[in-house]
Amino acid sequence: LRKLTYKIIHLTMIVLPAWKGILKELRMNITLMPHDVATQWNSTFDMLEYALKHRKAVDAVTQHRDLGLRRFELGDHEWVTILKDAMLYFSCSTPNLATVIPVMDHINEYLTMLALNSSHPFGSGTGSEDFESVL
């Protein structure tokens, strides 16, 4: 999602108009996906929450071959697996840093593992350099 967010925000002549068009087709408010920022501890959660609410749009934009975003496409099992534990922690009545930080670490670890997996569609298999540059 980090790389997809980056592409949507920074490819203003190609991907951004397509993103806005998809949101319009789906009758959703035209907004940008929040970008994950290392200095804001809740930005990962904001990005994931936005992606869940806009799942149809995320799926639609990654399925457009002409945009070159197919490698960012997430399968159903990935949507559920990545967020299952995080949502359980965040759904408690009083989430605090002691419970949030380990969950964020788990999400980061899982996404890093996928990025390094050469058999995964968006995994590079070459090392953590590419993935870490987006973090």
Q: Over its length of 135 residues, how does the chain's per-residue pLDDT go in tens digits?
A: 778 888 888 788 888 888 999 999 999 999 888 877 766 767 777 887 888 788 888 888 888 777 877 777 777 666 666 667 566 656 666 666 776 777 777 777 777 777 776 665 555 544 444 444 444
DSSP label at 32?
A: P
Q: Is the pTM value of this prediction over 0.75?
A: no
Cα 24 versus chain centre, distance? 20
From 72, 67, 84, select the one nearest 121 (Cα to Cα).
Answer: 72
Taken in order 116, 91, 98, 42, the sign of the CA dihedral is positive
- How many other C-beta atoms can be found within 10 angstroms of the C-beta atom of residue 32? 13
Instruction: Give residue limits of the domains in the chain.
Output: 2-134
